[in-house]
Structure 1
Amino acid sequence: MRTLSTRARMAVVGVAVVVLAGAGGWYAVRAADRSGATGSGSGAVTLAAGQWLVFRSTVDGPSYGHLAEVPESSPRSGRAFTADRCARAYAAAGSGVCLRPSTENPGGYEIALLGPDAAARRAIPMNGIPSRARVSASGRMVSWTTFVAGDSYTGTSQFSTRSGILDTTADVLAGTLETFTLTMNGRPYEATDLNYWGVTFTRDDNHFYATAGTGGKRYLVEGDFARRTFRTLRENVECPSLSPDGTRIAYKKRVSSDPTQPWRFAVLDLATMRETLLAEPRSVDDQPAWLDSHTVMYGVRRDARHADVWAVPADGTGRPGLLIPDAESPAALSP
């Protein structure tokens, strides 16, 4: 399991409290101001493939924390909302996942599987505090990562992470990826502190990438769901996100021991293993997502309750620009 620093543990607790309580730059043309950007929404949310962006809204009011949607062509226009309040969310090809407060266990959370109309079709109990969520490009595979406490090697006051995957077609559940076998540098590897987080799927709905943490290091690993195996590919890759064409991974790279500025976003070319730092200078704690084949988007927190979605070119050029105000956990539904 990945252990967190005191500062990170405080941030996790803050997120839990928030959930329970309820523009310039290169992107200026596409993200031009529209009336009703933060007002009440109308219309129905669809998770079917199309020119839409879905996200968790952080606008204060009755829609705070709800899953929302805007047209990709006008991301600051009036937004439509669902009835679900999510701590984390993602969607693709008519399927969605919403990590939300449990309807059966007050104070707990559950994994809500959403259909094309964004309504919950099924709910699975979840252990821990929501951290990451992903859906494969086909909509078949769903993953989640949570913060948990109580692992013997971390101490009772520390948090670590746990991830799972569900094949919604075959109804096969891997409740924790720690049951998978890891090969590191060509040799089997086992350790009591080994765990995984930040899943991203390939288009074959069997292979996927994730982060493995052990011995104070973080590795990009490739997983095989059917075989229940992992193999390491590269060190210092965290929260990977596979590009739409399957050739690159956007991720967090640890660049400093300063706990206030530990990360930079980067993109890795899987064929050459060439790494490119992106033009976002801030240290952002998020699993990035791809707006399109040329653009990476991500949530940046303004305070404990509010965040904005920003975007930056994936080739290291340009500069970041505000995409969706009062939003986080974005997903593009482009076909």
Structure 2
Amino acid sequence: RFHAAAGTGICLQAVHGALQDTYRAVVLDAHLRELRRFPVAGIPTRARVSPSGHLVAWTVFVSGDSYAGTDFSTRTAVVDTRTWAIDDNLENFRVIEDGRPYRAADINVWGVTFADDDRFYATLATGGRTHLVRGDLAARTLTTLHDNVECPSLSPDGTRVAYKKRVAGASSDAPWRLYVLDLRTMKESATAERRSVDDQALWADAGTLVYALPGDYGSDLWTVPADGRGTARTLMTSAVAPAYLG
């Protein structure tokens, strides 16, 4: 997994060993030179850099290897590249649901998308349900906003979130549709992509989403309008985890 913004990159890597693989998160500069590396506790799945390049986040599976079922556990970390301070498990943040503190032993957090150097959005799962949460790094809080949201991606203007939503009648291994939520009205709408999307979509611009689907050589990249109109189109074959650099 890879992402980059404002001269900072994050690359999640597997290190193949004779007996078992290990994994690491490598922070890169604008020339893809390594700045710092961190060991991670499991299989890489999501990575994001804040718009300023000051923060990087990643999620790994520490048990299980798929979001499709319920038998998995994740670990999500955020690193400040100015100080190299790390919050290595966002599950330690205080959760606020409907204005009240919420505690549970089964909380999982994954799929960070940054608004700025303090605020972010992510998925929080507990009790068999998923929620969109707004995170506050300074206050160390996660506040629930909307149900049935996984792997959110904030639009460039900060007003919408693209995400995968579990839909009724879908198969257990391909249960998602790609949706967009208006954060001002909390109204959600489906995109024109009818296939199951197991990815954290990326905004190519204010009106276009990019995401990966299985292809002949791993994954291919596709695009679809964010407003529900149009059709899905192939962007690139044999590719995954893109980043648009300004």
**Coarse TM-score class (shorter-chain normalised):** over 0.9
Q: Secondary structure of 1:255's partner?
A: strand
Give 2:81's aligned residue.
Answer: 168
User: What CA deviation, in whole Å up to 9, does each residue of 1:109-144 have, x standing for no partner?
Assistant: 100001010121111111000010000111111000
Give 1:317's aligned residue.
Answer: 229
Give 1:241's aligned residue.
Answer: 153
Shift of 1:172: 1.9
Out of 102, 113, 119, the position equivalent to 1:189 is: 102
Which structure 2 residue ranges, 5 or more long, are not aligned?
65-70
Matched, 1:332 2:236: no
Shift of 1:103: 8.7
CA distance in 1, matches of 2:16, 2:213: 29
Using the size of structure 2 for normalisation, the TM-score is 0.93
Give 2:208's aligned residue.
Answer: 295
Shift of 1:101: 2.1
User: What CA deviation, in whole Å up to 9, does each residue of 1:54-104 have, x standing for no partner?
Assistant: xxxxxxxxxxxxxxxxxxxxxxxxxxxxxxxxxx11111111000012499
Contact map agreement 2:215 2:237 (CA 8 A) in 1: no
Q: Secondary structure of 1:281's partner?
A: coil
Q: Which amino acid letter does the alignment assign opposite residue 61 of structure 2?
A: F
Q: 1:104 to 1:258 in 2, by over 3 A?
A: closer
Which one has the largest radius of gyration? Answer: 1
Matched, 1:96 2:96: no
Give 1:262's aligned residue.
Answer: 175
- Higher share of residues assigned helix: 1
CA distance in 2, matches of 1:244, 1:296: 11
User: What CA deviation, in whole Å up to 9, does each residue of 1:238-274 have, x standing for no partner?
Assistant: 1000001111100001113521431100111111111
Give 1:7's aligned residue.
Answer: none
Matched, 1:180 2:106: no
Q: Secondary structure of 1:330's partner?
A: coil
Q: Secondary structure of 2:222's partner?
A: strand
Comparing both chains, which one has the higher relative contact order based on Cα–Cα distances under 8 Å and sequence gaps of 6 or more?
1
Contact map agreement 1:182 1:189 (CA 8 A) in 2: yes
Q: Which amino acid letter does the alignment assign opposite residue 9 of structure 2?
A: G
Give 1:212's aligned residue.
Answer: 124
CA distance in 1, matches of 2:127, 2:230: 36
Give 2:133's aligned residue.
Answer: 221
- % identical aligned pairs: 51
CA distance in 2, matches of 1:281, 1:293: 21
Q: Which one is further off, 164-173 or 111-120?
A: 164-173
Matched, 1:128 2:42: yes
Which structure 1 residue ranges, 5 or more long, are not aligned?
1-87, 151-157
Contact map agreement 2:61 2:72 (CA 8 A) in 1: yes
Give 1:68's aligned residue.
Answer: none
Using the size of structure 1 for normalisation, the TM-score is 0.68
CA distance in 2, matches of 1:92, 1:182: 28
Contact map agreement 1:308 1:324 (CA 8 A) in 2: yes
**Equivalence map 1:76-95=2 (5 Å):** 88-95=1-8
Q: Secondary structure of 1:99's partner?
A: strand
Q: Secondary structure of 2:46's partner?
A: strand
Matched, 1:232 2:144: yes
Out of 72, 82, 89, the position equivalent to 1:159 is: 72
CA distance in 2, matches of 1:120, 1:144: 16
Q: Secondary structure of 1:279's partner?
A: coil
Q: Which amino acid letter does the alignment assign opposite residue 224 of structure 1?
A: D
CA distance in 2, matches of 1:103, 1:320: 36
Q: Which amino acid letter does the alignment assign opposite residue 138 of structure 2?
A: A
CA distance in 2, matches of 1:102, 1:234: 37
Shift of 1:145: 0.5
Give 1:107's aligned residue.
Answer: 21
CA distance in 2, matches of 1:104, 1:230: 37
